[in-house]
């Protein structure tokens, strides 16, 4: 894609080269909707198209947690990381993902393990804006999980998003294998907001085998479809999502007359709960992780997408 620097010596790919910037005070600008994103330089804050990310390993598939602010992307990363640690995987933050002026990112990388394993996780993840974490087993990188700020993916007032350059870069980068995880959740916004979100997800769709889709129905604990912890009436849940977000799956049906005989959809659907959140009278939010069955189901689905 024009405008992107491809550094073959590093075998990685960067968003456009921007001069290294000194860390600067974030502007105290209530008007700027991204002023609460931690770690951005002044230049990035003033122009989201200047946001720099760099994916140095283009051979391992990238799992993109995609969804509006507060849908649960960061806590899904936390929950999945905890599960994978227990299964003998190593979770290694990629230190080169953000430029060196992003001190916030550096701190997150230094403290990733303690943040993920803290009961205080929900409060401590507040400053996770960007994150790229490698999932490694026996020295091999199975995939990399990418988290970004929801407000850069979805503006609820718009049916068509003006994504920052780095999102287009992710979408258009044909060297990368990607699994997009569009998040859906119960009781999300007004009808118009949900329709706008459907249009936004359609903007993600590409007809290539290199890009797969797993719809993640998070906060399933807030629905009546949980039979017992980790066990969900999937068809009822799927139907509810279709009701709440009209036509959300339309573009993701398999229209091939032959393969559709045994595979109706070109997407996967996973119900999920990151955990429960309680607020003690004093102190910060306490996080108790949900059943292992949720991240287990998600991980099995991701492995199928990665291998398939
Ligand atoms: N009931 C319930 N609430 C959840 C669940 N997962 C997340 N939440 C709530 O959603 C809040 C936001 O979660 P985050 O993971 O920070 O959301 P995010 O998508 O990373 O948000 P941005 O980084 O702002 O885009 C949490 O603090 C919880 O209060 C869940 O499984 N069930
Ligand atoms: Mg987040």
Q: Using the atom order of ligand 1, give the atom closest to the CA of residue 128.
A: 23
Nearest ligand atom owner, CA of 216: 1
Q: Using the atom order of ligand 1, give the atom closest to the CA of residue 129.
A: 23
Residue 281, burial from CB neighbour count under 10 angstroms (0-12, 13-18, 19+): exposed
Establish whether residue 70 lines the binding site of ligand 1, counting it when its CB lies within 6 angstroms of any ligand atom. Answer: yes
268/307 Cα distance (integer angstroms)? 14
Nearest ligand atom owner, CA of 69: 1
29/93 Cα distance (integer angstroms)? 30
Residues with CB under 5 A from ligand 2 (ion): 73-74
Establish whether residue 271 lines the binding site of ligand 1, counting it when its CB lies within 6 angstroms of any ligand atom. Answer: no
pLDDT of residue 30: 53
Cα 254 to averaged position of ligand 2 atoms, centre (Å): 31
Cα 168 to averaged position of ligand 2 atoms, centre (Å): 19
**CA nearest neighbour of 188 among 150, 230, 149, 145:** 150
Can you read off the two tokens belonging to residue 150?
């929801």
Q: Which of 200, 274, 288 to mutate to test the pocket of ligand 1 (most atoms within 8 A of CB)?
A: 274
CATH number listed for the domain at residues 46-307:
3.40.50.300
Establish whether residue 182 lines the binding site of ligand 1, counting it when its CB lies within 6 angstroms of any ligand atom. Answer: no
For ligand 1, atom 24, the nearest C-alpha belongs to: 69
Q: Can you give the residue ranges of every domain in the chain?
A: 46-307
pLDDT of residue 174: 87
Establish whether residue 73 lines the binding site of ligand 1, counting it when its CB lies within 6 angstroms of any ligand atom. Answer: yes
In this prediction, the residues of the chain whose per-residue pLDDT falls under 50 are 1-10, 16-29
Cα 69 to averaged position of ligand 2 atoms, centre (Å): 7
Establish whether residue 289 lines the binding site of ligand 1, counting it when its CB lies within 6 angstroms of any ligand atom. Answer: no
Cα 66 to averaged position of ligand 2 atoms, centre (Å): 10
Q: What is the pLDDT of residues 175-199, one digit of tens each?
A: 899 999 999 999 999 999 999 999 9
73/64 Cα distance (integer angstroms)? 10
- Are the C-beta atoms of residues 136 and 145 closer than 8 Å to each other? no
Establish whether residue 136 lines the binding site of ligand 1, counting it when its CB lies within 6 angstroms of any ligand atom. Answer: no
Cα 216 to averaged position of ligand 2 atoms, centre (Å): 15
Establish whether residue 72 lines the binding site of ligand 1, counting it when its CB lies within 6 angstroms of any ligand atom. Answer: yes
Can you read off the two tokens belonging to residue 62?
């990238």
pTM for the model stands at 0.90
**For every residue of the chain, which 3-state class applies, written as one string?**
CCCCCEECCCCEEECCCCCCCCCCCCCCCCCCCCCCCCCCCHHHHHCHHHCCCEECCCCCCEEEEECCCCCCHHHHHHHHHHHHHHCCCEEEECCCCCCCCCHHHHHHHHHHHHHHCCCCHHHHHHHCCCEEEEEEECCEEEEEEEECCHHHHCCCCCCCCCCCHHHHHHHHCCCCCEEEEEEECCCCCCHHHHHHHHHHHHHHCCCCCCEEEEEEECCHHHCCCEEECCEECHHHHHHHHHHHCCCCCHHHECCCCCHHHCCCECCEEEECCCEEEECCCCCCCEEEECCCHHHHHHHHHHHHHHHC
């Amino acid at each position: 894609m024009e405008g992107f620097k491809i550094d073959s010596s590093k075998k990685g790919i960067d968003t456009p080269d921007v001069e290294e910037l000194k860390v600067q005070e974030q502007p105290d600008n209530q008007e700027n909707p991204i002023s609460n994103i931690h770690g951005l330089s002044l230049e990035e804050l003033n122009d989201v198209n200047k946001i720099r990310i760099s994916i140095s390993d283009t051979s391992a598939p990238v799992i993109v947690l995609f969804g509006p602010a507060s849908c649960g992307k960061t806590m899904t990363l936390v929950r999945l990381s905890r599960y994978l640690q227990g299964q003998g995987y190593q979770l290694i933050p990629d230190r080169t993902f953000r430029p060196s002026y992003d001190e916030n990112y550096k701190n997150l990388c230094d403290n990733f393990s303690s943040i993920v394993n803290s009961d205080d996780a929900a409060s401590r993840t507040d400053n996770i804006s960007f994150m790229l974490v490698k999932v490694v087993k026996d020295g091999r990188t199975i995939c990399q999980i990418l988290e970004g700020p929801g407000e850069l993916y979805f503006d609820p007032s718009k049916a068509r998003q003006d994504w920052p350059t780095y999102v287009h870069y992710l979408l258009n980068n044909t060297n990368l294998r990607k699994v997009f995880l569009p998040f859906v959740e119960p009781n999300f916004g007004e009808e118009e907001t949900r329709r706008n979100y459907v249009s936004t997800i359609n903007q993600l769709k590409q007809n290539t085998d290199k890009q797969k889709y797993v719809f993640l129905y998070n906060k399933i604990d807030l629905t009546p479809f949980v039979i017992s912890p980790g066990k969900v009436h999937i068809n009822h849940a799927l139907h509810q999502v279709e009701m709440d977000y009209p036509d959300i799956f339309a573009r993701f049906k398999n229209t091939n007359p032959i393969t559709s005989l045994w595979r109706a959809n070109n997407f996967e659907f996973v119900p999920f709960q990151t955990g429960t959140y309680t607020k003690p009278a004093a102190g910060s939010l306490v996080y108790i992780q949900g059943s292992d069955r949720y991240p287990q189901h998600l991980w099995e689905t991701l492995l199928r997408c990665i291998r398939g």
